[in-house]
Structure formats: C-alpha cells, structure tokens
Structure 1
C-alpha cells in the first residue's frame, strides 16, 4: 500500500477481491486522520458551513465514485455528510475502499 495519499485506481470487483487484513486497515487509517473503521467499513463525518458547500462536496464525491465505479453509502444533511466506504460484494474493506478514501481526502486539500 502506498504511503502517500495519491489515490491510485480501483479494480473492478464482483466479489473476487480480497479483504484487507486488520493490520493493513490500521496502517491506512494511520495516514487518514478522522476516518475510522465502523461495521466493516471506513467512515468519516464531514462538516460544512451550509447546504451549498455540503452539496458541492457530495457532487464532487459522486464524480469520484462514478470514475472509480466504487460507490459509498452517504448520509447527507444541511451541513454534514457521513461517508462510508465498504466493498459490499465481499462484506468489508478492500484496497478499493482505501483508494476512494484517499481520493476523497484530496478533495479537501
């Protein structure tokens, strides 16, 4: 796994991708402050000043998800967005989830 935050590129998966070991997930989380492992997924709550900024973030995130063909679960409200990446086909965290989390982090830098 790369030690920088460059996202890489997702591999197509319909269940043929290995889950990351807990040590691999913890190593990735050490580089990604504010993300946590929750219920077999990588999760972070983002806070914004208003609905416009929240929706701009959601739209940018949707573009990343479409480009990578790897889609998060989102919970959107006026000034927050809870983002959760998990590879549904295998029931946990894969390299694809880490790649997408890194891409989301780049939105904010």
Structure 2
C-alpha cells in the first residue's frame, strides 16, 4: 500500500502510463481529502483570507515547476481548488498517473506547514 510519505519522496517524471482504477483507489487512500472528480484528482484548500490563499499558491509554485506537473488552480478569496490529471497518458487523451498523487501529497505537506 502506498503512503503519502512515500509519494512526497518521489519526483514527478514524464509518463504515458495511466493508473488502473484499483491503483487510483489505493493512491486516493494515501492522500487525505483528495477525490476523483470528472477525471481529475481534486482538493479544496481553505484559508482565512486572500493573502494566505496567495501565499499558498506562491509556495506550491516551486514544487509544481520542479516536478513539471501543473494543476488547474481555481483561486478565490479564501480557497484554492487544485485539480490534477496527466495529459500524456492514454495515448495523449489524458488520465490519472502516479504524478498526480505525488503532487497532491506535496501540496498537502505545504498546506500542513502553512497551517502551523
């Protein structure tokens, strides 16, 4: 069984291999609060105000860039919704790969650190 700690230690890499439904279910169990919605791995992060929301977005920017795995972000006054999928899997039709969960675990770690 995969854990969030194991995912955080990994680096995103180019892949054309999608996870199976069973693998997606296993990986979702490792990342708290993330869900599969419309073919993407999604989570909403809540904040006290716009400044904290933008500080989180700026903090995740390095990780997103370093792993070359960019989510769809929806930013509002006190929320940031992150949506991951991998465009290169399934013959370029997109889907879910381990990269989505690596990034999800890293965003969670940044959020936990910011909440302290």
TM-score of the aligned structures, taking structure 1 as reference length: 0.89
- Alpha-carbon shift at residue 4 of structure 1 (Å): 4.0
Distance of 1:59 and 1:4 partners within structure 2: 22
Deviation readout 1:49-98 (Å, 9 max, x if unpaired): 00010001111111111010110000001100110010122211101111
Match for residue 11 of structure 2 among 3, 9, 12? 9
**Post-superposition shift, 1:39?**
1.3
Aligned to 1:85: 84
- SS at structure 2 position matched to 1:89: coil
- Which residue number corresponds to residue 44 of structure 2? 45
Deviations 1:7-40 (A, max 9, x none): 2101124xxx210011111111112121000111
What is the RMSD of the two structures over their aligned residues, measured on CA atoms?
Answer: 1.4
1:46 and 1:4, CA in 2 relative to 1: closer, same or farther beyond 3 A? closer
Query: Which 4+ residue blocks in structure 1 deviate beyond 6 angstroms?
Result: none
Structure whose residues are more often helix by fraction: 2
Give the TM-score normalised by the residue count of structure 2. Answer: 0.84
Counterpart for residue 24 of structure 1: 23
| Counterparts of residues 64-103 of structure 1 (less than 5 Å) | 64-90=63-89, 91-103=94-106
Question: How many equivalent residue pairs?
Answer: 106
